[in-house]
Amino acid sequence: MPGSAAKFWGSRTRLVNVLRTWLRSLPVWLIVGLFFLYPLGRFLLLPIFPQWAPSTSVQLGWPRDTWQALGNSVGLALTSALLAAILGTLWAWAMERRSSRWHSVGELLLWLIFLMPSYLLTTGWEIVFAAPWLRDGWLYHQFYSTVGIVALLTLKALPFAVFVVRPLWAALGHDLTDVMRVFAIQPRRALVVFLRLAIPVASAALVVSFIESVQEFGIPATLGAHLHLPILTYSIYGALSSSPLNFVGAARLALLLVALALLGGLGQILLQRRFGAVLVHGQTRHRLPPPTQGGEGWILASLNLSLGLLALLLPLGAITHAALGGGWVALRQSSWGPIFHSLAFALLAASLAVLLAWLFARNLQAGGIGGRAMDVFSMGNMAIPGLVLGAAYIMAFNLPGFSLYGGSLLLILAYTAATAPMLTRLLQAPLAQLDRGLSDAARIHGLSPWIRWLDIEAVLLSRPLVRGWLLAFGSVMFELPVSELLYPAGKTPLGVEVLALNNGEHFAAASRLALGGLVSVALVTVLTLLLLRLFLPDYRLRLAQ
């Protein structure tokens, strides 16, 4: 009897603990269901349940240019991904296997390209080729063709390729090189071994670059629109911005887009199964890599200088020159409303996204089924293009009695939903480093949950939280696809106005807005970091690290 009673009370205690954990995470999953699963499921299931479409939508089949858009998207994305994967794999190898002063310059360039909106990059190059001495030349015609789109997509995908591949090269260590040197392996044989090692590494870069390129919207909406070239992302936007609306056709195109991303992931899994074993070896011993040899230093210098010139100096220089070309009078007469609108949207959305990501990351750290589900959700939702999310919000929150469409609130909520999964992954590692004993000790001393979160956890996570807020703020400030679909009348965001001016070839006005937006983001970033340093003592900053 005593043994059976102990088992009964033990099982009852475990059940109570499980129920308490689920009840504690229930609000988080209600948010996930309302703002993520419900709108995305309602939109992506439209081809199966077309009666869910709004009454303003026509019941049409596939859009007219579907298969041409699909072929163009796959061809452009594969070409740019292949170029980015080759270049990114070699560059990441140089960063991990050779020491050079150019590596810090390269990291800065890659991060700047990663953060730079693609439509600003396109706008800068369009201004460059608007110069009389370049117009109608060979380079001009190459840029205004699929070659120009591939070049821009490659530039934008390159940071993703390097960021993915670099840790994989670091994991190899230098033991293999030492073994081949001891056994006097011939250079040709050594090259074959390293090429075999590079297959799973380069495949990871290829998949990530392909997914990023096929989901890109800014370049198809600028250069692709000038060329009248059907591309999946811009075709989805066309189905939702034309009259009459075609929600079912847009949903079918969105499913094709998601299917392409899934096929890329499946290809990566198959390559890892075939070649992944070559990455598994004994304990890796890390040491400082040798300096560059022979002409490697010149190659690295040329690569960094070329990338900086093509991706930053020339386009940003052209934007700055066009913005300041009219002098003070043009600056004073410009309309700065879109910048102020985007500033307000970004401040609110970034704050909500950080709070939501914090809740998601806490739920992820809880472990168990809920933690694993949150891990899958945060990873999967990062692969959903902003254009698809915006389209889902149009349909999900435009119902009788529950209509948010046409207002600023829906746009802010969509911004929040688009950035929160990314911030969740960013906060995952810092949150995991917090000792649970801190929270237990605070609970024992009778501190309320709010005090524990604000006075202990928030302080220790201050740097990651501020870093995530700044990343979300910059992303929302220049966000384009969600803004194009959901912006309220009279409150045009920055990205929408710049794109409209670009498509109308009003490059000077577009440049003034773009430059004003960049200056605004820089000022907010500096002010935020100064306030953080002013109000948070140094010892807390050290703890946050």
Percentage of the chain modeled with pLDDT above 70: 75
Please tell me the predicted confidence (pLDDT) of residue 353. 93
Which DSSP letter does residue 453 get?
I
Kindly calculate the radius of gyration of the chain based on its CA atoms and give it in whole angstroms. Answer: 26
Other C-beta atoms closer than 10 Å to the C-beta of 354 total: 26
Domains of the chain: 28-54+331-544 (1.10.3720.10), 66-282+292-321 (1.10.3720.10)
- Residue 425 predicted with pLDDT over 60: yes
User: From CA 120, how far away is CA 515, in angstroms rounded?
Assistant: 10
Can you list the alpha helix ranges (DSSP code H) found in 292-336? Answer: 296-308, 314-324, 327-333
Burial state string for 316-348 with b = 16 or more CB within 10 A and e = fewer than 16: bebbbebbeebeeeeeeebeeebbebbbebbbb
What are the structure tokens assigned to 101, written together?
């002063």
Exposed/middle/buried for 31, CB within 10 Å: 0-12, 13-18, 19+?
A: middle
Among 106, 78, 77, CA closest to 166: 106
Other C-beta atoms closer than 10 Å to the C-beta of 259 total: 11
- pLDDT single digits (tens) 60-85: 667 788 899 999 999 999 999 999 99
User: From CA 302, how far away is CA 377, in angstroms rounded?
Assistant: 41
Asked whether the CA dihedral 22, 24, 25, 27 is positive or negative, the reply is positive
Percentage of the chain modeled with pLDDT above 90: 30
Exposed/middle/buried for 514, CB within 10 Å: 0-12, 13-18, 19+?
A: buried
- pLDDT class of 445 with cuts at 50, 70, 90: low
Cβ–Cβ < 8 Å for 76, 153? yes
DSSP bridge partners of 399: 402
What are the C-alpha distances in Å from 430 to residues 112, 425, 538?
24, 10, 18
Cβ–Cβ < 8 Å for 84, 209? yes
Other C-beta atoms closer than 10 Å to the C-beta of 475 total: 21
- pLDDT single digits (tens) 324-348: 887 776 667 678 889 999 999 999 9
- Residue 382 predicted with pLDDT over 70: no
Higher pLDDT, 4 or 221: 221
- Residue 278 predicted with pLDDT over 80: no
What are the C-alpha distances in Å from 351 to residues 116, 196, 533?
21, 46, 19
Mean pLDDT of 351-376: 78
Please tell me the predicted confidence (pLDDT) of residue 78. 94
Whether the bond between 244 and the residue before it is cis, its omega within 30 degrees of 0, is yes
Cβ–Cβ < 8 Å for 530, 486? no
Pick the range with the lowest mean pLDDT from 52-56, 209-213, 526-530, 535-539: 535-539
Other C-beta atoms closer than 10 Å to the C-beta of 488 total: 16
What are the structure tokens assigned to 228, written together?
């009248």
Higher pLDDT, 52 or 455: 52
Cβ–Cβ < 8 Å for 343, 477? yes
- pLDDT single digits (tens) 185-201: 666 666 666 667 667 77
Cβ–Cβ < 8 Å for 313, 113? no
Please tell me the predicted confidence (pLDDT) of residue 411. 94
Residue with tokens 């090269």: 169
Pick the range with the lowest mean pLDDT from 178-182, 239-243, 278-282, 363-367: 278-282
Cβ–Cβ < 8 Å for 47, 59? no
Please tell me the predicted confidence (pLDDT) of residue 6. 52
Distance from the Cα of residue 529 to its chain's centroid: 23
Please tell me the predicted confidence (pLDDT) of residue 369. 67
What are the C-alpha distances in Å from 411 to residues 45, 235, 346?
23, 21, 10
Q: Mean pLDDT over all residues of the chain? A: 81
List strand residue ranges (DSSP E) for 294-415, in order. 398-399, 402-403
pTM: 0.84
Can you list the alpha helix ranges (DSSP code H) found in 173-224? Answer: 175-182, 187-214, 218-219
Please tell me the predicted confidence (pLDDT) of residue 282. 43
- Residue 379 predicted with pLDDT over 90: no
Residues in the chain: 545
Angle made by CA atoms 389, 510, 65, in degrees to the nearest 5: 45
Mean pLDDT of 396-420: 86
What are the structure tokens assigned to 159, written together?
């940071």
Highest mean pLDDT pick, 159-168, 452-461, 500-509: 500-509
Q: How many Å is the maximal CA-CA distance in the chain? A: 96
φ and ψ of 339, to 5 deg: -65, -45
Please tell me the predicted confidence (pLDDT) of residue 340. 94
- pLDDT single digits (tens) 128-164: 998 888 888 899 999 999 999 999 999 999 998 888 8
- Residue 213 predicted with pLDDT over 60: yes
φ and ψ of 402, to 5 deg: -145, 55
- Mapped onto helix, strand or coil, the DSSP state of residue 403 is strand
Please tell me the predicted confidence (pLDDT) of residue 50. 82
- Residue 313 predicted with pLDDT over 90: yes
Cβ–Cβ < 8 Å for 528, 469? yes
Q: Which residues contact 256 (CB under 8 A, 6 or more apart)?
A: 66, 70, 232
Mean pLDDT of 225-231: 90
Mean pLDDT of 24-46: 83
